[in-house]
Structure 1
Amino acid sequence: MRELLKVFKIGGGIIDDSAQLGQFVIELSKIAGKKILVHGGGKGASDMLQILGIEPRMINGRRITDAATLDIVTMFYAGKTNKQIVALLQQQQVNALGLSGADGNVIRATKRPVREVDYGFAGDLNDQSVDANLLHQLLQQDLTPVFCAITHDGQGQLLNTNADTIASSVAKALASQYEVELHFCFEKNGVLADVQDDQSVIPQITPTQYQELKANGVIAAGMLPKMENAFAALEAGVERVVIEHAMKINEPIKTVLCRS
């Protein structure tokens, strides 16, 4: 029987609120067994860009990353933010190891090609991007890897890479060695039947139910890409995908996506 591994992804909204981040770390420390954390960037990088007179640019929720922007996001994501989270985990006796994709060559990306939009130094991942064996070795040493949203291309170039994509890719890469649960943690209790009612959590969604909910407009807009990524992860061998409130990861209220 494969050992359970939980991969958690938290977004910038949690990182921007020190109280929420501290509480999330406490909740994460209560979870026994092997785990990996992937974090987004928060507003710190955008605030610094504006101070320096560089206007942050986003298209479809993705940052346009020119050379100057890459310098700033690397300093924040791989530096201040990553090390702050690692220090908070250490405070809770979780032996965390902060990583970018360049460290140990653990995640190698390719620069996104220019199509309708030039995203600049943005990195895309494929099925060979993640070094699962290195991550397995770290996990066997009872370390908790903490990934920021910076990868590299193997040719000396750092790349800004979507944190949801990193979390999904890490989960899929380790699915042959572990029973992997992928947890997307944000400010809602799960997938809601009524977006105005935080208590209307749909507890379980299968692929068939998902198609019905999408057709009926219950799942729409910004939740669609998250759900598509989630079911792609399930198809690639991830056992379960959980969508839940970041402050309630140890509570039963959440949405679990299953293969069938």
Structure 2
Amino acid sequence: MTQLFVIKIGGNVIDHPQALDAFLEDFAGIPGPRILVHGGGKIATRLGEQLGIVSQYVQGRRITDDATIDLVTMVYGGLVNKQVVAALQAKGCNAIGLTGADAGCIPADKRPVKTIDYGWVGDIDPGKVNTGALGALLDAGLVPVMAPLTHDGKGHMLNTNADTIASALAVALSGSYAVRLIYCFEKKGVLEDLQNEDSVIPLINRENHARLLAEGKLADGIIPKIDNAFAAIDAGVKEVLIGDAADLRVNVTGAVSGTLIVS
């Protein structure tokens, strides 16, 4: 099978121009098929505050009301996505910016209200990902750059966690490619002690994951990454890494620098 890298870059790197530029330089240099999924939460929060829209979060996930879905569509699908695409084009990488609505790439269902009403937030069934459209883009030598937005098929955009999108893409495409899913952010990996940058947990499995949660050693922001890593593994993706964006060159060679998630 052809190797495919599905790589997610976090908002904290996007907020720092030098770190982002270095990451995109490394990403542009990866040979063969790859897909980039980006976040951008802090930019949306900052611009939202300027517009009088205050962000609310529960367990690291944004509550998306009517005003917020307009905001994140503009910021994620517009400003951030097109800046990343333009930067990659400047580095010789023929990128194409997408949301889940484009070519119907990622349909989703609006999350049902249970104990929490998340608003216009989408949940993805990887089986509904339009792998034909994505495969055609990859076959044409294009590099999809996916914003963290999906659609409900009824004309509504849905805010969807970028980690979830990366996981769904990895699962959906694993039938056609040998997929390595890599979550890149500003830390060296999953840290046992947030005050110690070198306390990287090299391996997380179901057993120690339960212990780490019970001991409160996993920060809210990392929990969705690990949940989605396990979801990808359960669905057939064998390689999931969480590591430093600066280590991307290592992590596309078959080596591991960061935290490896296994079943």
TM-score (norm 1): 0.90
2:255 is equivalent to residue 257 of structure 1:
no
Q: What is the CA–CA distance in structure 1 between the aligned matches of 2:74 and 2:65, rounded to whole Å?
A: 14
Structure 2: distance between partners of 1:225 and 1:64 = 15
Give the Cα separation in 2 of the matches to 1:239 and 1:57: 34
Contact preservation (8 Å) 2:193, 2:217 = no
Offset at residue 213 of structure 1 (A): 6.0
Kept in 1: contact 2:192–2:218 (CA 8 A): no
- Report SS of the residue matched to 1:43: helix
Q: Work out the number of aligned pairs and report it.
A: 257
Deviations 1:21-61 (A, max 9, x none): 11110111222221101011232222222222222222222
Distance 1:34 1:88 in 2: 18
Aligned counterpart, 1:132: 131
Gaps of 5+ in 1: none
* Alignment match, 2:77: 78
- Which residue in 2 is equivalent to 1:34? 33
Aligned AA (2:149): I
Q: TM-score, normalised by structure 2?
A: 0.89
Q: Deviations over 1:100-126 (max 9, x none)?
A: 011001100111111122211111111
Q: Are the equivalent residues in 2 in contact too, given 1:8–1:38 (CA < 8 A)?
A: yes
Q: CA deviation at 1:128?
A: 2.7
Superposition CA RMSD, Å: 2.1
Q: In 2, are the aligned partners of 1:205 and 1:258 still within 8 Å (CA)?
A: yes
State whether structure 2 residue 110 is matched by structure 1 residue 111.
yes
Q: Quick one: distance in 1 between partners of 2:31 and 2:260?
A: 19
2:13 corresponds in structure 1 to 14
The one-letter amino acid paired with 2:63 is: I
**Structure-2 separation of matches of 1:108 and 1:128:** 10
The 1:210/1:160 distance shift into structure 2, 3 A limit, reads closer
* C-alpha displacement of 1:78: 0.3
Matched, 1:94 2:93: yes
Give the C-alpha shift of residue 200 in structure 1.
3.8
- The equivalent residue for 2:189 is 190
Which amino acid in the other structure matches residue 218 of structure 2? A
State the distance in 2 between where 1:195 and 1:53 align. 32
Paired amino acid for 1:172: V
Mapping of residues 1-260 of structure 1, within 5 Å: 2-207=1-206, 210=209, 217=215, 220-222=218-220, 223-251=222-250, 253-259=257-263
Kept after mapping to 1: 8 A contact 2:107/2:150: yes
Range with greater deviation from structure 2 (204-213 or 29-38): 204-213
Q: Deviations over 1:122-157 (max 9, x none)?
A: 111113331112111111111110000111111111
Evaluate the alpha carbon distance shift between residue 45 and residue 221 of structure 1 in structure 2; reply closer, same or farther with a 3 A threshold. Answer: closer
Report the alpha carbon displacement of residue 226 of structure 1 after superposing the two structures with TM: 2.4
Structure 2: segments with no counterpart, 5+ residues: 251-255
Match of 2:259, as an amino acid? T
Residues 60, 224 of structure 2: 8 Å contact kept:
no
Partners in 2 of 1:239 and 1:250 — Cα distance?
A: 19
- Deviation (angstroms), 1:206: 4.8
Higher mean C-alpha displacement, 171-180 vs 57-66:
57-66
SS at match of 2:88: helix
How much has 1:207 moved relative to structure 2?
4.7
Residues 52 and 203 (structure 1), Cα distance of their counterparts in 2 relative to 1, 3 Å cut: closer
What is the alpha-carbon distance in structure 1 between the residues aligned to residue 115 and residue 213 of structure 2?
A: 27
Contact 2:163 2:224 in 1 (8 A): no
